Amino acid sequence: MANDSTPNTEDLLREQQQAFEAALPEVEDDEGLYALQVRFLGKKGSITKLRKLMGKVPPDQRRALGQAFNAVKQTVEGGIEARKLELVELARARELARRVDLSFQPQRRRAGSGHPVLSTRRQLEQVFRRLGFDVLDGPHVEVEDYNFDRLNFEPDHPARDMQDTFFITPPEGVEAGEGDSSPSFVLRTHTSPVQVRTMLSHPPPIKIVAPGTVFRNDDDPTHSPMFNQIEGLYVDRGVTMADLKATLYAFVGAFFGEGLEVRFRPSFFPFVEPGAEFDMQCPFCRDEHTGENAGCGLCKQTGWIEIGGSGMVHPAVFEACGIDSSVYTGWAFGFGIERMAMLRYAVPNLKHFFEGDQRVLEQFPC
Ligand code: FA5
């Protein structure tokens, strides 16, 4: 029985070794190697099972059989280690053989950009901040009182006409103007009501700019029903028109470039006295050396570009806002932001800003 079992066990061992050697090259990763180790040398592995037959072998043959087991075990373990190193080498060789196409052009990502009007607004804010102004905001839906009455507009001023102004039906639960049956809310027609709000809530000195969107029943190539303005207000003791001119001169220099002339043209706004349109020298046709203007399409051959209105705050406005006009004086201005964006980016038509055509907007990476 001993003679029968000894060669059988060795044969079986040899079979297992051959099976291992056949399976080893097929293994492609660490997991596979671990599974192979378990299959042959694990607790229930085929070689481990054969080892348990040792007890049935005559004592004089056990030593030889034990050596045979150890040899097979070392073969299996050594094979697994060697294959492990081989796999690392194969992975490295694969990585090195990977070709990178350096001529490959990835698709350009379309990054968005700031809208030229918004970016003009931000730049304006920045310039006025540097000149010592605070930046304030105001609501788009405004009480008629702040938009017109306290700014000294007569009750029958044409701006109050439905043809010029968008009136808003008051929301439920909100009272219309006291003793007034007409609607008392409007989409603000200018940023000047922020003057009223500021003077009602802050004692002088006041030095603010208020950029924002305004609405008018206007629609032609140079007028849009929705546009943006920037309001300026400076109130203190002894403020004069000279401060206004100096400030606007500094502003034009900082925003459009040094050396441009500014001028006032008398004009009427109910909330300022005296009132003036504010013009700047056209930067497009100005000769750098002589400072003279040749005239161009943008300035309509005049050499001047109108930016907006300005003037000394009317005493009636001060009184309506609780400020003593015998103590304080002040000035205000209101400019169209689109007008300035048109100048800054040399855009001939205001409508280009609002049509949302990417081909146009992409030309002004802001
Ligand atoms: C006003 O709105 C006054 N509130 C400005 C002001 C403030 C004067 C403080 C005095 C003191 P005006 O209506 O002129 O003024 O408008 C000012 C600027 O807004 C214009 O010069 C123009 O640049 C711009 N603007 C006016 N209407 C439109 C419109 N429909 N579309 C685009 N821009 C406009």
Q: Same domain, yes or no, for 24 and 149?
A: no
Q: Which ligand 1 atom sits closest to the C-alpha of 219?
A: 30
Question: How high is the pLDDT of residue 174?
Answer: 65
* Residues 332, 311: Cα–Cα separation, whole Å: 6
Count the domains in the chain. 2
Torsion (CA) 55, 61, 63, 67 in degrees, nearest 10: -100
Percentage, residues of the chain above pLDDT 90: 57
Confidence of residue 179 (pLDDT cuts 50, 70, 90): very low
Tell me, what amino acid is at 149?
D
Structure tokens at 221: 């190539």
**Residue 340, domain member (yes or no):** yes
> What CATH number is given to the structural domain containing 197?
3.30.930.10
Atom 25 in ligand 1: which residue has the minimum CA distance? 336
Contact yes or no for 16/72 (Cβ under 8 A):
yes
> 154 φ, ψ to 5°?
-65, 155
Q: Cα(284) to centroid of ligand 1, in Å?
A: 22
Average pLDDT of the residues in 39-66: 87
Q: Which of 213, 220, 68, 79 is nearest to 142 (CA)?
A: 213
Q: Which ligand 1 atom sits closest to the C-alpha of 189?
A: 2
* Residues 37, 43: Cα–Cα separation, whole Å: 10
Question: How high is the pLDDT of residue 5?
Answer: 45
Residue 230 scores a pLDDT above 90: yes
**Residue 48, domain member (yes or no):** yes
What is the residue range of 61's domain? 9-94
Q: Same domain, yes or no, for 128 and 84?
A: no
Q: Same domain, yes or no, for 19 and 154?
A: no
Confidence of residue 7 (pLDDT cuts 50, 70, 90): low
* Residues 349, 214: Cα–Cα separation, whole Å: 19
Average pLDDT of the residues in 75-84: 94
**Residue 103, domain member (yes or no):** no
Residue 88 scores a pLDDT above 50: yes
Q: What is the pTM for the complete model shown?
A: 0.70
Residue 333 Cβ inside 6 Å of ligand 1? The answer reads yes
Q: Same domain, yes or no, for 40 and 83?
A: yes
**Residue 101, domain member (yes or no):** no
CA 299 from chain centre, in angstroms, equals 34
Q: Same domain, yes or no, for 21 and 156?
A: no
Q: Cα(43) to centroid of ligand 1, in Å?
A: 91
Question: How high is the pLDDT of residue 365?
Answer: 65
Residue 334 Cβ inside 6 Å of ligand 1? The answer reads yes
Residue 227 Cβ inside 6 Å of ligand 1? The answer reads yes
Question: Which of 5-9, 39-43, 358-362 is modeled with the greatest confidence?
Answer: 39-43
Q: Same domain, yes or no, for 237 and 321?
A: yes
Q: Which of 195, 130, 212, 230 is nearest to 330 (CA)?
A: 195
Average pLDDT of the residues in 115-140: 95
Least-confidence region, from 86-95, 101-110, 248-257, 261-270: 101-110
Q: Same domain, yes or no, for 140 and 171?
A: yes
Question: How high is the pLDDT of residue 366?
Answer: 64
**Residue 120, domain member (yes or no):** yes
Least-confidence region, from 76-85, 161-170, 270-279, 328-337: 161-170
Pocket test for ligand 1, best of 339, 340, 347 (most atoms within 8 A of CB): 339
**Residue 177, domain member (yes or no):** yes
Pocket test for ligand 1, best of 165, 166, 229, 305 (most atoms within 8 A of CB): 229
**Residue 3, domain member (yes or no):** no
Q: Same domain, yes or no, for 72 and 181?
A: no
Average pLDDT of the residues in 254-264: 87
Contact yes or no for 183/171 (Cβ under 8 A):
no
Q: Same domain, yes or no, for 22 and 162?
A: no
Question: How high is the pLDDT of residue 358?
Answer: 82
Contact yes or no for 188/139 (Cβ under 8 A):
yes
Average pLDDT of the residues in 292-319: 92
Strand boundaries in 89-184, DSSP class E: 134-135, 141-143, 167-168
Mean of the per-residue pLDDT values for the chain? 89
Q: Which of 47, 63, 94 is the last residue of a domain?
A: 94
Q: Same domain, yes or no, for 49 and 147?
A: no
**Residue 261, domain member (yes or no):** yes
Q: Which ligand 1 atom sits closest to the C-alpha of 275?
A: 10
Residue 330 Cβ inside 6 Å of ligand 1? The answer reads no
Q: Same domain, yes or no, for 207 and 63?
A: no
Question: Which of 98-102, 183-187, 222-226, 325-329 is modeled with the greatest confidence?
Answer: 325-329
Q: Cα(212) to centroid of ligand 1, in Å?
A: 12
Least-confidence region, from 1-5, 74-78, 205-209, 256-260: 1-5
Contact yes or no for 198/206 (Cβ under 8 A):
yes
Question: How high is the pLDDT of residue 175?
Answer: 64
pLDDT, tens digit, for every residue of 93-123? 998 998 888 888 878 777 777 889 999 999 9
Average pLDDT of the residues in 179-193: 79
The full length of the chain comes to 366
Contact yes or no for 229/335 (Cβ under 8 A):
yes
Q: Same domain, yes or no, for 76 and 137?
A: no
Q: State which H helix or E strand residue 85 sits in.
A: helix 59-97
273 assigned ligand-binding residue: yes
Q: Which ligand 1 atom sits closest to the C-alpha of 191?
A: 4
Question: How high is the pLDDT of residue 1?
Answer: 42
